[in-house]
Amino acid sequence: MVKPEPNIFPKGNWHRKKIGLLGGSFNPAHDAHLEISLSALERLDLDAVWWLVSPQNPLKPSDDMAAFIERMESAIAMADDDRIYVTDLENHLGTRYTADTLDRIITLLPETRFIWLMGADNLAQFSQWKDWKKIARTVAFAIFDRPMYSKAVETSEAATFFKGDQIPENQAAKLSTKKAPAWTFIRDIQNPLSSTEIRRKKL
């Protein structure tokens, strides 16, 4: 495969910038995605947040997945802050797993500081992701509270494994300066919305 050029990234000068990465199906995008992103921009002192709309989440069935273009449009409509960029990076890179996506992004933008953004509901099953320990050793993580999943920050396999690498929430703004593995837990997000619930309400 031909190595993609850096112009696949959102327009702008990202050299030495601090970027939050929020991956997901966005099936559809909803308020919690936006709230996590806005909180990350403020609490982590980020320059931007990129939404990585997945062509197909390997852990989710494809028969309940809207068309990729519909999910992109959903994300674009929801991302109403000019510091949030909706991207189809994985589609261009030809990657399906986060570990592979991060490898490619960091290779192309080695001077940019990336932080992976994740809800506590995803942390609960993070150990099912391909090469999850490698991912956590590649970029710092910010975990955002989600209803009924707060305990995942204490009891999940990933949180237990990397317990010694957690930094206090009041030092979250320094997370981008930490060498991975490093992570923090942001408690001020408790939006109950999920893409699954939104789809159920439409039926």
User: What pLDDT is recorded for position 201?
Assistant: 41
Whole-number Å distance between alpha carbons of 66 and 130: 23
User: What pLDDT is recorded for position 8?
Assistant: 87
User: What pLDDT is recorded for position 150?
Assistant: 87
User: What pLDDT is recorded for position 199?
Assistant: 32
Structure pTM? 0.88
In sequence order, the 6+-apart residues with CB closer than 8 A to the CB of 201 are none
pLDDT in tens, the chain (203 residues): 344 455 789 988 999 999 999 999 999 999 989 999 999 999 999 999 999 999 876 656 666 789 999 999 999 999 989 999 999 999 999 999 999 999 999 999 999 999 999 999 999 999 999 999 999 999 999 999 988 888 888 899 999 999 999 999 999 999 999 999 999 999 876 545 444 443 344 43
Whole-number Å distance between alpha carbons of 61 and 67: 13
In sequence order, the 6+-apart residues with CB closer than 8 A to the CB of 63 are none
User: What pLDDT is recorded for position 100?
Assistant: 95
User: ∠132-181-13 over CA atoms, to 5°?
Assistant: 95
Tokens of 75: 């994300």
User: For the chain, which domains are there?
Assistant: 15-202 (3.40.50.620)
- Report how far apart, in Å, the C-alpha atoms of 75 and of each of 25, 27, 60, 81, 91 are: 10, 9, 18, 12, 15
Cross-strand bridge partners of residue 23: 52
CB count within 10 Å of CB 48 equals 19
User: What pLDDT is recorded for position 65?
Assistant: 83
- Report how far apart, in Å, the C-alpha atoms of 163 and of each of 103, 116, 129 are: 24, 17, 18
Q: How many distinct helices (H) and strands (E) make up the chain?
A: 9, 6
Q: Please, are residues 173 and 190 in contact by the beta-carbon 8 Å criterion? A: no
Query: Chain centroid to CA 173: how far?
Result: 17
Nearest to 25 by CA among 38, 130, 62: 62
User: What pLDDT is recorded for position 87?
Assistant: 95
> Taking the CA of residue 102 as centre, how many other CA atoms within 13 Å lie in the half-sphere pointing to its CB?
26
